Chain A
Amino acid sequence: MTVFKTFLKILNKNKFIIILYTLFLIFFGGFNMQTSEHNTNFVASKPDIMIVNYDEEKGITKDLIKYIEENSNVVDLKNNEDAINDALFYRDVNYVVYIPKNYNKDFMDGKNPEIEIKSTGDYQSSFAEMLLSRYIKVANIYQKSINSEEELISKINETLSKKSEVEITSKLDTNILSKATFYYNFANYSIMACLIYVICLILASFKDIKIQKRTIISSTNYKTLNRKILLSNSLFSIILWMIYVVLSFILVGDIMFSIHGIFYLINSFVFTICATTIALFIGNIVSNKNTISGIVNVIALGSSFLCGAFVPMEWLPDGVIKIAHILPSYYYISNNEVLKTLELINLNTIKPILLNIIIVLSFSIMFIILTNIVSKRKQKIG
């Protein structure tokens, strides 16, 4: 109990570090989540199309104009090339359709007359082109077998009026999952930095050579004391993880109660174990409290940047991703990214997640072994 009480007192002295990294997580993780929300909003729109008709408005020509009018916003501009170019430049119109003279007659004669267009080249103009192509393709198909103008127009309209029913079976809310991924990706930094900083500071106090000497000569078994310190550190890690989990429930919301949420929790818990072992390892090799801040920056900040905790992984160069493979953060963040788009959760789909978890656990085991080796070497004074 004495050890645990002392642990808590030293922890209390360093509480500002925990508060600082938690605030980082709330503000920066929260900011990332807001950004992700804006990216997935959709607004229905129609392209602005101008029709310049040199033909008589009858037959196919009339029907084509009618079709365009029904599916777009027809813009009425002065038929002047400079005015049209200006309108395109200023995005007053997205697409200009030039229907040539005798278009109706030539089309019925099977000459497949060309329609000239002008476009802004943006996504609205692409949509306008898709409308025009659709009409012409359908008309061309029927024109080969139907000679009657009336019958042809009737068939074209019948085909174009057919609508497919599309049912979205996915109930996956990628927007909310993206929020969770952003939060837990950023948590990579907060968990790692906070654990390394605090555990190293606590170990630097307990493992100070002078205090260690006094402890070794006491009637308390040194191994028992070490186990108590380890247990206290582990308890601190779990409490920190729980605080961050509670925060995720507040910031991300209901999705955390789903099966996806459970996987985010498992993944972050395994990573917390790994970060604790890294902190214990560093705490055993570093005794100078002044160097700890630098080490935190190199390890926590470095691995967070390299592994995509702050920016999406797909934005990172291949070389950086290759280097990131040697860091446990990479496998933790990869799991968060997989969870973001994981539609079905079954044994097959979670295999890559489980594999990454096993890799993170392997890192933990490696750091435990290294810590034991270092600790045994340092145990003997003189």
Chain B
Amino acid sequence: MKNVIEVKNLIKEYKEIKAVDNLSFEVHEGEILGLLGPNGSGKTTTINCLLSLLNYSSGSIKIFGKEMKPDSYDIKSKIGVVFQEVAVFDELTVYENVDYFCGLYIDNKETRKKYIEDAINLVGLESFKNFYPKKLSGGLLRRLNIACGIAHKPKLIFLDEPTVAVDPQSRNNILDGIKKLRDNGATIVYTTHYMEEVEILCDRVIILDKGKILATGTTDELKELAKIEEKISIEINDLDINYIDKIKELKNVDYVKYSSNILVVTYKKGKNNLVEIMEYLKKNNIKYNKIYSERPTLNDVFLELTGKELRD
């Protein structure tokens, strides 16, 4: 498989702090690579180094087989970036904004016109072409931000948390758009805090913390890293604390936690765990409202690898 990005032993230091610590990874052509990590894990620094927005201390970065430098305009012409912050002109309409940023790559007026229309359609802003950014909601603004970053039809796209603080409708629209970009042949590097997005979108995931890669693989491969097999959540009002210790002693139980009227029981392995816990509750006359069983999520993997929640 052809590599679009090849990063070898990348190190970025700020005085004595290593923001990026000896990173090596590849991004394959046509895939969506998820870059996961808590705040300060080095995701944005890595992307800034890849884009030559930052000088790095050592290592090498190759994009499309060539070394990436600040003046690598031939490489840059094939890259699109959607930053976390919305970067548009308040004085320009939706159409004019996309036109300006597309114009930084595409000189031909006719081609540009077509590309702008495509980008606006992709993010579903057809009805808002003549709107100024101040008149757009947060979700629509994010869509405009994406349209500005991808209008020139780049082969490699960096999306840095593009769905932060957007409404569900806009999020679905954005995710559909990203899938379409991938289907059209683009390679995508995607950073997000939302596990469900990673599970839906990403072909491969890199988990970062403190500038280091903790794990790499497909979502299924990563889930196998989790020590737990099953997680059962039960909604119980005012559970007597003595029962918690007794539940811990049940077969295959790894961990028990009770807070906000939710009892969470995790199992390392075993079958019929749900039946067993329900029987225990019935036997002890403990009334419950809802009960559900889950397979481990990426968040559990993340918790296990880093010791903290992804949104910490």
Say if the beta carbon of A168 comes within 8 Å of chain B. Answer: no
Complex Cα spacing A326 to B99, Å: 45
Q: A9-B92, A13-B91, A219-B105 are contacts. A2–B77 as well, Cβ < 8 Å?
A: no
Contact A214 B92 (CB under 8 A): no
A173 CB to nearest B CB, Å: 46
Contact B76 A219 (CB under 8 A): yes
How many residues of chain B are within 8 Å of chain A by beta carbon? 33
Q: A9-B91, A9-B92, A381-B48 are contacts. A214–B53 as well, Cβ < 8 Å?
A: no
With CB as the reference atom, state the residue of chain A lying closest to B87: A210
Q: Which of A205, A211, A215, A221 has the most CB of B within 10 A?
A: A211
In the complex, chain A residues whose CB is within 8 Å of the CB of B128:
none
Complex Cα spacing A6 to B79, Å: 23
Contact A2 B53 (CB under 8 A): no
Contact A217 B92 (CB under 8 A): no
In the complex, chain A residues whose CB is within 8 Å of the CB of B90:
205
Complex Cα spacing A381 to B90, Å: 22
Contact A382 B54 (CB under 8 A): yes
In the complex, chain B residues whose CB is within 8 Å of the CB of A211:
87-89
In the complex, chain B residues whose CB is within 8 Å of the CB of A225:
104
B82 CB to nearest A CB, Å: 9
In the complex, chain B residues whose CB is within 8 Å of the CB of A382:
45, 48, 53-54
Complex Cα spacing A205 to B96, Å: 14
Contact B100 A381 (CB under 8 A): no
Complex Cα spacing A211 to B86, Å: 9
With CB as the reference atom, state the residue of chain A lying closest to B75: A219
Contact B53 A381 (CB under 8 A): yes
Say if the beta carbon of A164 comes within 8 Å of chain B. Answer: no
Complex Cα spacing A2 to B109, Å: 10
Q: A217-B79, A218-B76 are contacts. A2–B91 as well, Cβ < 8 Å?
A: no
Q: A2-B100, A9-B92, A219-B105 are contacts. A214–B79 as well, Cβ < 8 Å?
A: no
Say if the beta carbon of A227 comes within 8 Å of chain B. Answer: no
Contact A214 B91 (CB under 8 A): no
Say if the beta carbon of B73 comes within 8 Å of chain A. Answer: yes
Q: A205-B90, A208-B87, A210-B87 are contacts. A220–B96 as well, Cβ < 8 Å?
A: no
Other-chain residue from A213, A218, A219 in contact with B83 (beta carbon distance below 8 A):
A213
In the complex, chain A residues whose CB is within 8 Å of the CB of B54:
381-382
Say if the beta carbon of B148 comes within 8 Å of chain A. Answer: yes
Complex Cα spacing A229 to B104, Å: 13
With CB as the reference atom, state the residue of chain A lying closest to B73: A219
Say if the beta carbon of A350 comes within 8 Å of chain B. Answer: no
In the complex, chain B residues whose CB is within 8 Å of the CB of A75:
none
Complex Cα spacing A10 to B52, Å: 29
Contact B89 A210 (CB under 8 A): no
Contact B91 A219 (CB under 8 A): no
Complex Cα spacing A217 to B104, Å: 10
Contact B89 A214 (CB under 8 A): no
Say if the beta carbon of A313 comes within 8 Å of chain B. Answer: no
Say if the beta carbon of A245 comes within 8 Å of chain B. Answer: no
Contact B104 A215 (CB under 8 A): yes
A225 CB to nearest B CB, Å: 8
Contact B83 A210 (CB under 8 A): yes
Q: How does the 8 Å CB contact mask read for B42-60 relative to A, with 1 for contact and 0 for none?
A: 0001001001111100000
Other-chain residue from B53, B76, B96 in contact with A6 (beta carbon distance below 8 A):
B96
Complex Cα spacing A221 to B99, Å: 18
In the complex, chain A residues whose CB is within 8 Å of the CB of B103:
1-2
Other-chain residue from A2, A6, A214, A380 in contact with B81 (beta carbon distance below 8 A):
A214
Q: A2-B100, A210-B83 are contacts. A221–B73 as well, Cβ < 8 Å?
A: yes
Say if the beta carbon of A361 comes within 8 Å of chain B. Answer: no
Other than the known A211-B87, A211-B88, A219-B105, what 14 A-B pairs have Cβ atoms closer than 8 Å?
A: A2-B100, A2-B104, A9-B92, A205-B91, A210-B87, A213-B83, A214-B81, A214-B83, A214-B87, A214-B149, A218-B105, A219-B104, A225-B104, A381-B53
B-side residues, CB < 8 A to A, are 45, 48, 51-55, 70-71, 73-74, 76-77, 79, 81, 83, 85-92, 96, 99-101, 103-105, 148-149
| Chain A to chain B contacts (Cβ below 8 Å), 7 pairs | A6-B89, A9-B92, A10-B92, A217-B52, A220-B105, A221-B71, A381-B54
